[in-house]
Structure 1
Amino acid sequence: MLGRKRTDFMCGIAGILQLDGRRPGREDIEALNQRQIHRGPDGEGVYLDGPIGLGHRRLAIIDPAGGQQPMCNETNEVWLVANGEIYNFRALRAELERMGHRFRSQSDCEVIVHGYEAWGDRVVERLRGMFAFALWDGPRRRLLLARDRLGIKPLCYSSTDNRLAFASELQALRVLPDFDARVDTEALDRYLHLQYIPAPLSIYRGARKLPPAHTLVLTADGAAPVLRRYWQLEWRPDESLSESEWVERLDAALGDAVRSHLVSDVPFGAFLSGGVDSSAVTAYMRETLGPGLDTFTIGFDQAGFDERGPARETAEQLGSRHHESVVDLNILDLLPRLVRHYGEPFADSSALCTWRVCETAREHVTMVLSGDGGDELFAGYPYFPKLVERFPVLTGPRRVRRLAGDLLRRIGLLNPVPTLAESWYGRSPFFDDALRRRLWWPDYHDRIGTTRTWHEAQFTRVDRLDTLSQCQSVDLQTYLPFDNLTKVDIASMAHGLEVRVPLLDHALIDTVTRIPARYRMAKVDAAGGAGGDIWCGKYVLKRAAQRFYSWEFLQRRKVGFSVPLSAWFSGPFKNELQVRLLDPAAGLGDWFDPAEIKRLVSEHGQSADHGHRLWSLLFLAQWFSQY
């Protein structure tokens, strides 16, 4: 392979910081570890010292004797448990060794320990990779929790007056004897609207998720915790470069990002859907590693949902060893496993596909690269053109008229028109405000307003940007980490598979955020020429990928990881679905009107398509019954 390192630290981490002078019990740390054994089935580590207890479950890919965690510095005063990969660890190690630091292993995560000694909390700003870690500074009795910039790796925590506990997955925190497992109904309303629960909320009142690009610092003396954002996505378009110059720069940045993610000495594979993102990533892999890659795709024996054909065509062009599998599983049988691993309601039905492709890949390789993040970073979603056309960037007199109209609407002299944020909010295909108002019992109707307020705040943070950049920013900071990346992390770690996402390398992101919006999404003609009337998302990415593929190949319609829920719930699962959702033991009646649930089931396949809504209620009912 391209490079060699001695150990990976894909795993599960956990720990407890006591704030009342007591020592955490080893049995408590081991219980947290045990609930995450699937993330690291090859070994366990525990460290106890005064008020701190750290736990680690390890997936030992290489060198089982090296890089054991928890790990420490030379003086045994700074201790670390970490999950993820640091891709620039060699450069950081060389720099730290020149400063006099002595390393005990070849592990990439040891640079975090010595980096903290050298740069303090700002070590996170030096790391290129995906990570979540907990670092204990013994002399200062200080705990630092950190999560990577885009939220590729998870970290959640539970705080009381007496202690703070953390883990990679929510399900682990449930073992705590004082854990508050009551349902957070604000989080539940966001789940209904979004199909996921965004950080910092979780389904539990007693647990929170550390947001991406944040650190959380606590001290054993009980001082107020300090939450800090250390990185912010910023669009800084550089208009001085031409299209061809940006294509050249992007090509170099893509090659560098993929190469940085290929540092290992174990077999690599790639998820290959036949779409632009995974095809581009796989082509750059092939260019770096040569022939013999393993590629993986899944499909359905149902028209409109099967992408095996395009993926097979891509694999043939690249000369990869291609592996296909058909999703023929009984979703009702798999549902309990999904609920157990995701730990809270999570209704993205493509998790079924992700689960199966991870299961298939793990039979052949230990690590894969994926194209996740391409739609968000390069403007690939089909709703982007519609919103850009509806909310064009105005200049000169047109902008003045728009501002004057906004003022008159605020004082009631003109009828209001939807804003970009309101239009975005109203496009939810799941439970919109009206449906949630019908579903919730009246006592919970105020939760609907909290979801709308949260959504508006996402746009308020980026309202000075052009329309496309606003939409991309919101997706990159909400849907990407709390849906797409959560889905991949949980499904892959459930199978002991490491998934790397080079399109979310922050060095690559620094390049893409300087590309003007008109190159990220452009209007072209049928041949890809400028000046046409066809919106082309991922325009500059496709231009870069033309080194490997034809324009016609790159412009194919992508199926995506879509699941035929509508057909399933209209056919073989409909009777079972109604029984499960309306069973009093399912618990949905605690919050929702059963008559409304029954209406959704009866309407589905007749006068409406409620497939995704019914899946979200089914997942919720299963979660309630298990937890």
Structure 2
Amino acid sequence: MCGFAGGLLFSQREFQNTELLNRMGSVIAHRGPDNQGLTVKGPCGLVHRRLSIIDLSSRGNQPMSNEDGSVWIVYNGEVYNFLELRKRYDLDSRGHAFNSATDTEVLVHLYEEVGEDFLKELNGMYSIALWDDTRKKLLLARDPFGIKPLFYTSTNNGFWFASEIKSLLEVEGVNRKPSLEALYHYLSYNYVPDSLTPFDNVHELLPGRAMWINWETGEKQEHCFFNYDYTEDASVTSKYASVHSRELLERAVERRLVADVPVGVMLSGGMDSSALTALMAKIRGRSNFHTFSIGFDDSSFDESEYARIVAESVGTIHHSIQVTPGAVADLLPRYLAHIDEPYGDGSAIPTWLLAEEASKYVTVLLSGEAGDEVYSGYDTHAAYKVRKLYRRSVPAFVRHCVGSVVSRLPVSHRKLSFEFKAKRFVRGAEFDVPGSHFFWRVVLSEDAKLQVLNSPGRFSGFGESSRYFSDIFSNCKTGSGLNKLLCIDTLCHLPHDLMIKNDRMTMAHSIEARVPFTDVELFRFLASVPAEVKFPGMRKKHLLRNSMKDLLPESIVNKKKVGLEMPYSSWLRNELRDVAMEYLNPSRLNSTGLFNGAGVEKLWLQHDRYEVDHGRALWGILNYMMWYDLYIASTDYKNYINPGVVRR
């Protein structure tokens, strides 16, 4: 796990501004505290920050090149099948000289053999920048699940790229202007979707995409190199799916245990992380590794007792971190300086606190992210099945009456309360399938957004935020409605929400987070499993539960999903009230020129009076305002950047 940045100058034959490259690398030192390397080759400049994981010697430092220096690479991540590829393509006997035991060097030589098609062979997490000096072309690429970030922008004289946006802000000509389109959609999702970023002239390369930049013409060509195919294989039975998916998951975990540094597990107590913990112990034949969990005083948010059950069952060295309102307040706005974006997911700060503690013991953590996307584990997947029955068996006029009754249920701030789920389901069930899926996740509706935005006419041309879901639903290669929803979650929610905190909060503490559920072989198989086999009846994650019965306690196998989130709805009214009042003050909101302070104040009053739970929306707007202060109104984000954790 590392970080990199660089630029391609169209107006020069030699990249001369090495001081700029050093600055671009220094602001992401937390991603790679072990070494900074810099290379200039013709018009291309590359800088790399290394977090040593495999081959801790200086031979693994980057930028790295082929034998004659005509191909250079900077790379962030891990490719787990690099030894298989080195053997399959017979790279040693084809005359390639290897100076390290890293996966990076395999990528360079693989590119020499097969060109860009090497991307189709990779099983791992990665963002890559590769300069081909002979062709005078730059290649950028990002893994299919968006685990590793990659941003880019253009100026009058060049093209720039980096693992984090803060590196790009070091470049003269990159203006810190907020994107109205990003803000508009952020208010729906509490994260910035698609290739948008909160900066008007900065973009993110989408997962599974490659981009070529031609130095001679300045032309950019982007395309998808990964096939997200959900075509079902009708021959797959439930028994075979359980057995084979277990084999593939075990192999995925084993691949991700290869490291020359200590490896631990983020153990929430849920099904996904518990499976990883049990499989890691089985593979290693021992359980003396570290696991880390999060706890809350509010029992509806707390899974720490289940994490303890798993840790004791497996026999790990377990650490539990309690998340309190005081600890959260102390990290506001500091944690956003490592995200570079407004981010309203309440799991980010708990992940920061976990990673901070874990950094004392390990350099690599296994993460259970993507388990819900590949095994079908979200409540919205169950709601999709209930919706079909509800609409088929309940007449429209009765559904209208049900909606009226449900709307009168008193507001509860407990996590996923009956009131919350009932109101969401009944209203969302009236939309089409992708529309329902969107509504069950949406933060603010189209009408509500216009109430909190200043001069809403400026936002009218951006289209409804639900189109990101409906477009994926329409283009997904499957006839199954459920698998189309999994495709939406895999291409939208996973990379643009979950992987943001999974990468930035761990990298803030110089930790590499590995994600076994994104293993390409596992993904391809589970994507082909028929929906009725993957999700029979109302049993979410049926295949994972069945396959792990021999390794996990029954209380874990049959446990309902909780998920990592903070009780901010309650905290905003109480312990974090002063913070909310500071950032959500109408005059302060109005001063940005982006928000209508009176509209936000109305949300606050409804929330404070228990009329409507606007916790998610208020937390999202609060985080946007903190981001605005750090990045637009000032450059104070630089004051909060961690220097990184040096372990050697």
TM, length-normalised to structure 1: 0.90
Q: Alignment partner of 1:537: what SS?
A: coil
Rounded Cα–Cα distance in structure 1 between residues aligned with 2:13 and 2:446: 47
Q: In the alignment, is the contact (CA less than 8 A) between 1:192 and 1:436 conserved in 2?
A: yes
Farther-moved stretch of structure 1 (264-273 vs 477-486): 264-273
Correspondent of 2:97 among 87, 96, 102: 102
State yes or no: 1:39 paired with 2:31: yes
Contact 1:587 1:625 in 2 (8 A): no
Structure 2 CA distance for aligned equivalents of residues 298 and 190 of structure 1 = 30
1:459·1:470 contact (CA, 8 Å) conserved in 2? yes
Q: Deviations over 1:152-208 (max 9, x none)?
A: 111000123421100001121111110032211111111110111123111111110
Cα 1:127–1:387 shift into 2, 3 Å = same
Residue type of the alignment partner of 2:622: L
1:427 partnered with 2:460 = no
Q: Are the structure 2 counterparts of residues 609 and 596 from structure 1 closer, same or farther at C-alpha, using a change threshold of 3 Å? A: same
Q: Using the alignment, how far apart are the partners of 2:385 and 2:115 within structure 1?
A: 43
Q: Counterparts of 2:558 and 2:204 in 1: how far apart (Å)? A: 38
Aligned residue for 2:160, secondary structure, equals strand
Contact 2:295/2:302, CA 8 A, preserved across alignment = yes
Q: Distance in 1 between matches of 2:116 and 2:156?
A: 25
Q: Name the residue aligned to 1:490.
A: 504
TM-score (norm 2): 0.87
2: distance between equivalents of 1:454 and 1:368?
A: 31
Q: Secondary structure at the match of 1:431?
A: coil
Residue 449 (structure 2) aligns with: 436
Q: Give the aligned partner of residue 4 of structure 1.
A: none
| Aligned: 1:233 with 2:233 | no
Measure, in 2, the Cα distance between the counterparts of 1:578 and 1:590.
19
Is residue 507 from structure 1 mapped to residue 521 from structure 2 by the alignment?
yes
In structure 1, distance between residues paired with 2:358 and 2:591: 36
The match for 2:3 among 12, 21, 28 is 12
* Aligned-partner residue type, residue 537 of structure 1: K
Indicate which of 165, 168, 176 corresponds to 1:173: 168
Greater length-normalized contact order (CA 8 Å, ≥ 6 residues apart): 2
Within 5 Å, which residues of 2 pair with 1:116-515? Answer: 116-289=111-284, 290-328=286-324, 329-391=326-388, 418-441=431-454, 442-447=456-461, 449-462=463-476, 464-515=478-529
Which residue in the other structure is 2:18 paired with? 26
SS of residue in 2 equivalent to 1:201: coil
For residues 22 and 74 of structure 1, the distance between their equivalents in structure 2, rounded to whole angstroms, comes to 22
1:564-575 aligned at under 5 Å gives the runs 564-575=567-578
CA contact (8 A) 2:313 2:553 kept: no
The match for 1:599 among 602, 608, 612 is 602
Q: Please tell me whether the aligned partners of residues 587 and 624 of structure 1 are also in contact (alpha carbons under 8 angstroms).
A: no
Residue-by-residue CA offset, 1:451-483 (whole Å, 9 max, x unaligned): 243343222212852111011100000000111
Are positions 1:520 and 2:534 aligned together?
yes
* Cα distance change of structure 1 residues 198 and 172 upon mapping to structure 2, 3 Å threshold: same
The CA distance in 2 between the partners of 1:309 and 1:493, in whole Å, is 27
Shift of 1:586: 5.4
Question: Using the alignment, how far apart are the partners of 2:237 and 2:554 within structure 1?
Answer: 20
- Cα shift at 1:26: 0.3
Separation in structure 1 between the aligned mates of residue 328 and residue 445 of structure 2, nearest angstrom: 25
Out of 613, 619, 624, the residue aligned to residue 620 of structure 1 is 624
Report the counterpart of residue 405 of structure 1 in structure 2: none
Shift of 1:548: 1.0
| Alignment CA distance shift 1:543-1:588 (3 Å) | farther
Aligned-pair CA distance for 1:100: 2.3
1:126 CA displacement: 1.4
Q: May I ask how many residue pairs the two structures share in their alignment?
A: 587
Aligned equivalent of 1:56, options 48, 52, 61 = 48
Q: Is the 8 A contact 2:446 2:464 kept in 1?
A: no
Q: CA deviation at 1:450?
A: 4.5
Shift of 1:566: 1.2
- Report the alpha carbon displacement of residue 445 of structure 1 after superposing the two structures with TM: 4.1
CA distance in 1, matches of 2:498, 2:543: 23
The CA distance in 2 between the partners of 1:505 and 1:68, in whole Å, is 26
Structure 1 partner of 2:634: none
Q: In the aligned structure 1, how far is the partner of 2:260 from the partner of 2:457?
A: 57
Aligned with residue 610 of structure 1, among 599, 610, 614: 614
1:386-427 C-alpha deviation (Å, 9 max, x unpaired): 2133247x9xxxxxxxxxxxxxxxxxxxxx973212222322
- Equivalent position amino acid for 1:387 in 2: Y
The answer as to 2:79 corresponding to 1:86 is yes
After superposition, the Cα gap between the structure-2 partners of 1:579 and 1:244, relative to the gap in structure 1 and judged at 3 Å, is same
User: Which residue matches 2:561?
Assistant: 558
Could you tell me which residue of structure 2 aligns to residue 413 of structure 1? Answer: none
Q: What is the rounded CA distance, in whole Å, between the counterparts of 2:41 and 2:249 in structure 1? A: 44
After TM superposition, the structure 1 stretch with the greater mean CA deviation from structure 2, 567-576 or 125-134, is 567-576
Q: Show the counterpart of 1:547.
A: 550
**Identity percentage over the alignment?**
34
Higher alpha-carbon deviation: 310-319 or 60-69: 60-69
1:16 touches 1:53 (CA, 8 Å); kept in 2?
Answer: yes
Please state whether the residue corresponding to 2:496 is helix, strand or coil: helix
Letter in 1 for 2:440: R
**C-alpha deviation, 1:585, in angstroms:** 4.8
CA contact (8 A) 2:590 2:596 kept: no
1:569-615 Cα deviation digits (max 9, x unpaired):
11122243123222645566412211111112222131121111111
**How far apart, in 2, do the equivalents of 1:447 and 1:189 lie?**
10
Give the conservation status (yes or no) of the 8 Å contact 1:581–1:588.
no
CA distance in 1, matches of 2:543, 2:596: 49
- Displacement, 1:60? 2.7
Indicate which of 96, 102, 106 corresponds to 1:111. Answer: 106
